[in-house]
Amino acid sequence: MHVPPERQGEEKLDDYVFRIVLVEPGERTLGFLRRQVAPRWVRRLFDLAPEDSGIAGIYFFNVGLATPRIGRRREHPMSDLVHEEIVTVPQPDGRFDFGHRLARPMPTLAVWISSDGDDSNSHFTVLIEKIEFILAADSVF
């Protein structure tokens, strides 16, 4: 990653080697005008919603670069629907392993896995060995 760890997530540096994203169903939809200006990935997420519903929120759980930033949360400046949290950082060899307990049970419309290096012109390979979701009253993944 060509991103200074202390600036990760800022404008032009909004890249993360790995994100797991949960899309919560809701009432909000993209109208004609919003659809025209929305980024392609946002349109795609809205397209996953059944025709008679929309989205309540898009929750990013990111692998960051700096340990002090673990737990950092923000509402993304691009949309009040997008919420992010840095949940872990890679070990020195690049591997990461994390568990994350959601603050509340969340019905989930879609799970999206993303690797993103476009802002910083970063190139990397991600190998996912295992993803496990534990679906219970105290939702953990």
User: Would you say residue 95 has pLDDT above 50?
Assistant: yes
In this predicted structure, what is the pLDDT of residue 88?
95
> For 19-70, what is each residue's pLDDT tens digit?
999 999 998 888 889 888 888 888 888 887 777 888 999 999 999 999 999 9
Residue in this structure with the two tokens 């990461």, named with its chain if needed: 96
In this predicted structure, what is the pLDDT of residue 139?
46
User: Would you say residue 138 has pLDDT above 70?
Assistant: no
Q: What is the distance between the alpha carbons of residues 18 and 78, in angstroms, rounded to a whole number?
A: 19
User: Would you say residue 140 has pLDDT above 60?
Assistant: no
In this predicted structure, what is the pLDDT of residue 141?
47
Percent of the chain with pLDDT over 70: 96
DSSP symbols for the chain: --S-GGGTTSTT---EEEEEEEEEEESB---HHHHHHS-HHHHHHHHTS-TT-EEEEEEEEEE-S-GGGTT-EEE-TT-TTEEEEEEE---TTS------B-SS----SEEEEEEE-TTTT------------B-STT-B-
In this predicted structure, what is the pLDDT of residue 137?
58
Convert 27-57 to b/e letters by CB count within 10 Å (16 or more is b): eeebeeeeeeebeeebeebbeebeeeebbbb
Mean pLDDT lowest among 4-18, 42-56, 96-110: 42-56
Q: What is the distance between the alpha carbons of residues 65 and 27, in angstroms, rounded to a whole number?
A: 34
**Residue 48's closest CA among 74, 26, 19?**
26
The residue ranges of every structural domain in the chain are 5-116
User: pLDDT-based confidence at 121, cuts 50/70/90?
Assistant: very high
In this predicted structure, what is the pLDDT of residue 136?
62
User: Would you say residue 99 has pLDDT above 90?
Assistant: no
Q: What is the mean pLDDT of residues 83-102?
A: 92
